[in-house]
Amino acid sequence: MMLARAERDLAQQRFEEVRKLANEVFAIEKDIQALPGSTTVRERIVRTSIQYLEGLSKRAGGDWRLKREIAAGYRKAAEAQGLTRGVNLGRRAEAQTSLRKAATLLIEVRAAAPDDRTVLHDLIELVELQSRLEDESKNMTALGAKLDEMQGLLAQYESTAADDPGEWQFLGKMYESMAISSKGLRQMEAPMRFARRSVELRRKVADKDPSFASRGALSNALSAYAGMLQATGDVAGAVETFEQSLTVLEGLVAENPDHYTTLLNLANGHALLGRNVGGASGPSLGHHDLAIRHLQESVRLGRRLMQLDPNDRHARTNQAIAQWRLADVLRARDPKASLASYDDAAAILRALNTRSFIRDVSLVAVLSESTYALRALGRDREIHARLAEATEVCDSHREKATAAYGSCSEFTSRARAAVSLAEGRPAEAVAAYREWLGQAEKANGMEEAKDDLFSAFQLVRQYRLLREALLAVGMRTDAVDAERKMRDLVGVWRKKLSGKNDPDVLLAM
C-alpha cells in the first residue's frame, strides 16, 4: 500500500517537474528573446531542456498526462530551435527532430484520452508547427494535407470554445498561421478568410486587454492580412493595413524602446511597407521616394539589431532582404549606393552557412540583380563572376526541381539575358527568357499568376523582356505572340481589380 502511494507521489512529482519546465523554463526563453544578445543563453536553455525532456521520456511509462507535458516541452523547444515566423536559433534539423518526438508522444496521448479537449488543443499546436516546416520547405502536397488536417481539428475545437480572450488569442494565432501557410498554395480565397478571422480575433483580445503582448499579436495579424491584400491585387489596401500594423508597433517601441522582438518586427514592418509603397522588384504604388525612406529605416533598425545580437540568424536574414529591396529601388537613380547595398546583403547571406530556401533564393537574387548596377557603373568585368556564383547556388536546387529553383532561376535567367544583350548576342537572350518561361508554363505558372499578383508581375516582366529580345533578332511574329500573352494576363488583372488599382502600374507595364 505504501509502495503504491510512493509510486503515485513520484509520478505526481515528475508531472509537476515537467509542467514547470514547459511553463517556466521555456517561458524564460521567450522572455529573453526581447533582450539584446540573448542567443547564446537561449541556446543553452534549449539544449539543457532537451536533455531533461529526454530523461523524463524514458521514465514516463504509461502516464499519458506526463507524456502530454513532455510533448508540450518538445513543441516549445522546436519553436525555439528553428521554426519560421519568429525569433529562433536557426537550427531547423533539430526543430524537426523535436517535432517528431512530440508527435510520437501525442499519438499515444490521443489514444489514451481521445475526448480530452486539452489534448485536442495540443494536437492543433503540433500540426500548426508541422505546417510551418512544410511551408518553409515549399512541400506543397504535404502542406496542403497539414492545412486540411488543421482545419478539421479547429472546427472540432471551436465548436466547444469558450467566449473569452484566452480562446480568442489561441484561435487568432492558428488562423494567422494558416493564412500565411496557405498563401503558398496560390488559392487566395482561403488565406484571405483565415487572415480576416485572425485580425477579428486579435482585435477582440486587444480591445478587452490592451496589453503589450496582445497589441503585438494584433500587429502581426494585420501584417499577415496586408500580405494577402497585396497578393490579390489590392496594394492600396495592403499599404493602409501595413501602416496600421506599423502604428501599433511604433506605440509598443515608444513604451519599451529596447524590446528586441518588437524592434525586429518594426524593422520588418518598414521593409514590407516600403516594398508595397514603391518597391522596384514587385507590384507597388510607385512612390519610390517614400519607399526609400521606409527601407532605409528598416536597414537602420536592422544594423542596430545585428549589433545587439550578432548570433540572431532571423535578424540577419531580414536585414539582408531589406538591403536587397533598398538596392533595387536605388539602382536607377544611384547605382553606386545600390551596389553597396547589394554587397552588404550578399555578405550577410554568405555568412549564413546553413542552406535554406530563403537564404539561397535571396542570395541568388542579390547577386543577379547587382549585375545591373555593375553595368551602370561600367564594371562589366565583374558581372560574370557574380552571375556564376548565383547560377551555382541556383543549380544546386535543379535536380530536386524544388520551388527554390523555380524562384531563383527567374533572377538568373533575366541577368544572363541582359549579359547576352549587352554583349551583342540577342539570340542567347531569347533562349534564356524562353527557358524560364517554359519552366513557369510547365509548372502551371499562368494559372498561378491569375491568382497571385507577384507571380503575374514576374510573368509580365519576362514576356515584356522576351518581346524586346525577339524584336532585336527580327522575330516579329514571335514578339507579337509574347506581347499577346502579356496583355492577356494584364487583362485578367484589369478585370479583377475593377478600377481599385491600376494594373499597368502594378505590373510595371
The closest of 109, 38, 112 to 75, measured between CA atoms, is: 109
- Signed CA dihedral, 230, 236, 237, 243: sign only: positive
Cα gap 208→221, rounded to integer Å: 17
Are the C-beta atoms of residues 223 and 232 closer than 8 Å to each other?
Answer: no
Question: Would you place residue 498 in the very low, low, confident or very high pLDDT band (cuts 50, 70, 90)?
Answer: confident
The three cell numbers of residue 335 are 547605382
Q: What is the pLDDT of residue 267?
A: 97
Q: What's the longest Cα–Cα distance across the chain?
A: 96
Number of H helices, E strands in the chain: 23, 0
Q: What is the pLDDT of residue 27?
A: 59
Tens digits of residue pLDDT in 69-110: 889 888 888 888 877 666 667 778 888 888 899 999 999 999
Could you give the C-alpha distances from 462 to 18, 83, 279, 485, 506, in angstroms and in order?
A: 56, 33, 18, 11, 15
- Which stretch, 64-68, 331-335, 441-445, has highest mean pLDDT? 331-335
Name which of 39-48, 67-76, 79-88, 312-321 the model is least confident about.
79-88
Instruction: Name the helix (H) or strand (E) containing 470.
Output: helix 453-472
Tens digits of residue pLDDT in 143-166: 889 999 999 999 999 988 888 999
Cα 313 to chain centroid distance, Å, stands at 14
Could you give the C-alpha distances from 368 to 41, 219, 274, 342, 466, in angstroms and in order?
A: 37, 33, 21, 10, 18
Question: Would you place residue 290 in the very low, low, confident or very high pLDDT band (cuts 50, 70, 90)?
Answer: very high
Tens digits of residue pLDDT in 197-255: 999 999 999 999 999 999 999 999 999 999 999 988 899 999 999 999 999 999 999 99
Residue percentage of the chain with pLDDT more than 70: 90
Are the C-beta atoms of residues 250 and 288 closer than 8 Å to each other?
Answer: no
With 70 as the cut, is the pLDDT of residue 286 above it? yes
Cα gap 451→252, rounded to integer Å: 35
Radius of gyration over every alpha carbon of the chain, rounded to an integer in angstroms? 25
Are the C-beta atoms of residues 411 and 390 closer than 8 Å to each other?
Answer: yes
Cα gap 237→243, rounded to integer Å: 10
Cα gap 362→351, rounded to integer Å: 13
Question: Would you place residue 44 in the very low, low, confident or very high pLDDT band (cuts 50, 70, 90)?
Answer: confident
Tens digits of residue pLDDT in 341-353: 999 999 999 998 7
> What single-letter amino acid sits at 284?
S
With 80 as the cut, is the pLDDT of residue 307 above it? yes
Question: Would you place residue 66 in the very low, low, confident or very high pLDDT band (cuts 50, 70, 90)?
Answer: confident
Grouping H, G, I as helix, E, B as strand and the rest as coil, residue 392 is helix
Question: Would you place residue 499 in the very low, low, confident or very high pLDDT band (cuts 50, 70, 90)?
Answer: low
The three cell numbers of residue 373 are 548596377
Q: What is the pLDDT of residue 140?
A: 82
Cα gap 380→454, rounded to integer Å: 30
Contacts of 480 (CB under 8 A, 6+ apart): none
Are the C-beta atoms of residues 231 and 454 closer than 8 Å to each other?
Answer: yes
Average pLDDT, the chain: 88
Are the C-beta atoms of residues 300 and 341 closer than 8 Å to each other?
Answer: no
With 60 as the cut, is the pLDDT of residue 424 above it? yes
Grouping H, G, I as helix, E, B as strand and the rest as coil, residue 161 is coil
The mean pLDDT of 483-498, rounded to a whole number, is 90
The three cell numbers of residue 407 are 524562384
Cα gap 148→421, rounded to integer Å: 47
With 70 as the cut, is the pLDDT of residue 6 above it? no
The closest of 134, 92, 22, 508 to 286, measured between CA atoms, is: 508
Cα gap 509→503, rounded to integer Å: 8
The three cell numbers of residue 65 are 498526462
Cα gap 180→163, rounded to integer Å: 25
Are the C-beta atoms of residues 443 and 459 closer than 8 Å to each other?
Answer: no
Could you give the C-alpha distances from 127 to 68, 105, 122, 283, 467, in angstroms and in order?
A: 15, 13, 9, 33, 46
With 80 as the cut, is the pLDDT of residue 36 above it? no
Question: Burial code of 474-484, b = ≥16 C-beta within 10 A, e = fewer?
Answer: ebeebbeebbe
With 90 as the cut, is the pLDDT of residue 399 above it? no
Question: What single DSSP character describes residue 285?
Answer: -
Cα gap 268→260, rounded to integer Å: 12
Q: What is the dihedral of CA 334, 226, 409, 326, to 10 degrees?
A: 20
